[in-house]
C-alpha cells in the first residue's frame, strides 16, 4: 500500500529575502515539486538559495484545472510544497482550494510558520491587538461599501490589503465611515523603501494624493476610542 505524501504550505519573504526560515529552505529542497504562483518570481528565490527542486505553476487561473492531478500525485506518495509570490499561501493568495482538497482526501497537510504582511503592519501600528480583524482585499465594486461597513462596525482594530492605485479611495471611504478613528498605512514592508505613516484617514488621503503611493500596502484602522501613540513627545 502506497503511503500518501504531504502538502507543505511554505511562507516566502514579503520583500527581504533574508526573512525565509531555515526550515522553509530545507522543505523546498527536499520535496518532489514546488507549486508556485509565479514561476519567474519564485525561480529567483529558489536560485538565491540554491534550490533545484522542480518548479511548476499553480495560480488562481489554473488551480481548478490542476487540482485533481496534484491530489493524485500526493496520493501516490509524492511530497509537494505550495508557495505564493510573497507571504503565506492561502492568505489573499492561492492555496485554499488545495488545502481543502487535501483534508477531504485524507492527505497530510503541514503549514510552516513564516512571513505574512499584515502581522508586522498590525504590530508597528501601535494600536491595541488583544483582538483584531483581517479583511484582506475589499471587493472592488459590488458589495464593497457593505463589506467595509460591516468590518468597521465591530470597533476592533482592522487590517486590510489594498492596491496603491486604490489607496486614496479607501482612505476617503474610511473618512466617510469613521472619521474619528486613526489609521496606519504600511508600505513596502521589509524592503529598502519601507514606510509607515499614521494619522486620520483624511490626513493620510491628503498625503497620498500629493505623494503617489507605490508598492505593496497594508492599511490598519485603529479600534474605536483609541488614539495613535505620539511619535514626537515633547
Which residue range(s) make up the domain with 151? 118-221
162 vs 55, 92, 117, 220, CA distance in Å?
Answer: 29, 11, 12, 11
154 inside domain: yes
228 lies in a domain? no
Backbone phi, psi, residue 76, to 5°? -85, 0
- pTM, two decimals, is 0.90
Report whether pLDDT(97) > 60: yes
43 plus 126 within the same structural domain:
no
Confidence band, pLDDT 50/70/90 cuts, at residue 2? low
Residue 3 pLDDT class (50, 70, 90 cuts): confident
* 125 and 65 together in one domain: no
Q: Is residue 201 part of a domain?
A: yes
Q: Is residue 233 in some structural domain?
A: no
pLDDT, tens digit, 9 for 90 and up, residues 173-199:
999 999 999 999 999 999 999 999 999
Shared-domain flag, residues 134 and 217: yes
- Burial (CB count <10 Å: 0-12, 13-18, 19+), residue 162: buried
Amino acid at each position: 500500500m502506497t503511503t500518501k505524501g504531504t502538502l507543505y504550505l511554505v511562507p516566502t519573504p514579503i520583500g527581504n529575502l533574508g526573512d525565509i526560515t531555515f526550515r522553509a529552505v530545507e522543505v523546498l529542497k527536499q520535496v518532489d515539486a514546488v507549486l508556485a504562483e509565479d514561476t519567474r518570481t519564485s525561480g529567483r528565490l529558489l536560485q538565491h538559495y540554491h534550490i533545484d527542486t522542480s518548479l511548476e505553476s499553480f495560480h488562481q487561473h489554473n488551480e481548478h484545472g490542476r487540482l485533481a492531478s496534484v491530489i493524485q500525485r500526493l496520493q501516490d506518495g509524492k511530497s509537494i510544497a505550495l508557495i505564493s509570490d510573497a507571504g503565506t499561501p492561502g492568505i489573499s493568495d492561492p492555496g485554499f482550494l488545495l488545502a481543502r482538497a487535501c483534508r477531504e482526501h485524507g492527505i497530510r497537510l503541514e503549514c510552516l510558520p513564516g512571513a505574512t504582511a499584515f502581522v508586522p503592519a498590525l504590530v508597528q501600528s501601535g494600536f491595541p491587538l488583544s483582538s483584531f480583524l483581517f479583511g484582506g482585499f475589499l471587493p472592488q465594486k459590488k458589495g464593497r461599501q457593505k463589506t467595509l461597513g460591516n468590518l468597521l462596525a465591530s470597533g476592533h482594530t482592522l487590517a486590510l490589503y489594498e492596491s496603491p492605485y486604490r489607496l486614496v479611495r479607501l482612505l476617503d471611504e474610511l473618512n466617510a465611515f469613521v472619521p474619528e478613528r486613526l489609521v496606519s498605512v504600511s508600505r513596502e514592508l521589509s524592503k529598502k523603501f519601507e514606510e509607515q505613516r499614521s494619522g486620520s484617514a483624511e490626513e493620510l488621503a491628503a498625503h497620498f494624493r500629493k505623494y503617489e503611493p507605490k508598492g505593496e500596502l497594508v492599511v490598519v484602522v485603529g479600534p474605536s476610542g483609541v488614539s495613535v501613540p505620539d511619535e514626537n513627545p515633547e
